[in-house]
Amino acid sequence: MNGQQQQESESEHFSPYRHDGKLYGFVCVVTGATQPVGKAIVSELAAHGAACIYACSSSPSDDYAGLAEEVNKQWPSTKVIGYPFKLANEEDTLGLIDDVLNAWGRLDVYVTSSGLLGPSSITETTPADLYKLFEANSMAPFFALKYAPPAMAKTTPKGSYPNAAPKDHAYGSIVVVSSVASTYGGCWGAGYTMTSHAALGVVKAGVATLKGTGVRINCISPGQIDIGVDLKGFDMRGLSAQFPPSSLQSEEGRREIVGLERAGMPVEVARTVGFFASSFSSYITGHNMVVDGGASVMNPLTIPI
């Protein structure tokens, strides 16, 4: 095989439009990566063949090494890099993207997967609570939209790092993992609903913002996902009495309010991220994929965990 044929073969192999949805050579960022949904997303991108995944969290004490070891047992060709940073901080976001480009020369997928519930009652919600909710639920997607696309536009020759790939034209995918609270008002408290709507607003505004860049942006809105959290200790005074809060997480309650009669699993959210990151969604941008087992279609009230 001559040099030109080899280059063409590599370009086809590492194309962002591969028919099998693989992410060979891709460099990814996942925030909230040490939480149940974030961990599942890291594993899913590795399953798609990503070269490197920056596993980001706001806590420097999180078990990044354990996450990397767990993923690499199954997907040894993917390098997982633990990266603590303040996800709603502009300076930290720019520092993360600079580090990614300095180390790999490219950025292809940026997933924001962090969220904060806040108080369920509006009477208990202070302006300080609302600021924190906007930071956690809306600012991270905003910074992804603002700063990831220029990095995704950079092309690079083939490097010497594992699973390396040339990037000969600009492309990328931004995925915002929000909540069903992005589309209606019957989920948790007012602050959570407001800031989840704002996250979807970033995605909607992003379509026009990204015209001509080759970068897509989409939202995933999970409903009740089983992440092992019990709501017994939460203040749920702001929730409707239509469904007793104590029953919302019970099997009986889920059979009543969820079309598929169960809570979702983190991996089921992660698979949707894999879809939006890959060639399978190459003509989709500005979309909000609701992953809630049909609950929001059937009922006006749900909880996100």
Q: What is the mean pLDDT of the segment spanning 46-64?
A: 92
Q: Which tokens sit at 6? A: 């080899």
pLDDT for position 214 = 93
Is pLDDT larger for residue 258 or for residue 150? 150
H helices present in the chain, as ranges: 3-13, 36-47, 64-74, 90-104, 127-134, 140-152, 190-209, 251-257, 266-277, 295-298
pTM of the model: 0.88
Q: Which tokens sit at 228? A: 């092992």
Predicted confidence (pLDDT) at residue 68 exceeds the cutoff of 90: yes
pLDDT for position 56 = 95
Per-residue pLDDT tens digits for 248-294: 556 776 777 788 888 889 999 999 999 999 999 999 999 999 999 98
Predicted confidence (pLDDT) at residue 197 exceeds the cutoff of 90: yes
Predicted confidence (pLDDT) at residue 119 exceeds the cutoff of 70: yes
Predicted confidence (pLDDT) at residue 298 exceeds the cutoff of 90: no
Q: What is the mean pLDDT of the segment spanning 199-208?
A: 98
The DSSP annotation for 66-97 comes to: HHHHHHHHH-TTSEEEEEE--TT-HHHHHHHH
Q: What is the mean pLDDT of the segment spanning 15-37?
A: 88
- Indicate the helix (H) or strand (E) that contains 112: strand 109-112
The confidence band for 232, taking pLDDT boundaries of 50, 70 and 90, is low
For the ranges 18-32, 195-209, 266-280, the lowest mean pLDDT is seen at: 18-32
pLDDT for position 302 = 67
pLDDT for position 246 = 47
Q: Is 257 exposed, middle or buried (0-12, 13-18, 19+ CB in 10 A)?
A: buried
pLDDT for position 216 = 97
Q: What is the mean pLDDT of the segment spanning 105-116?
A: 92
Q: What is the mean pLDDT of the segment spanning 203-223?
A: 96
Predicted confidence (pLDDT) at residue 8 exceeds the cutoff of 80: no
Predicted confidence (pLDDT) at residue 247 exceeds the cutoff of 60: no
For the ranges 177-191, 234-248, 276-290, the lowest mean pLDDT is seen at: 234-248
For the ranges 99-113, 144-158, 238-252, the lowest mean pLDDT is seen at: 238-252
- Domains in the chain (CATH in brackets) are 27-225+239-291 (3.40.50.720)
pLDDT for position 65 = 92
Predicted confidence (pLDDT) at residue 245 exceeds the cutoff of 90: no
pLDDT for position 251 = 72
**DSSP helix/strand/coil, 236:** coil
Instruction: Please provide residue 298's backbone torsions phi and psi, each rounded to the nearest 5 degrees.
Output: -85, -35
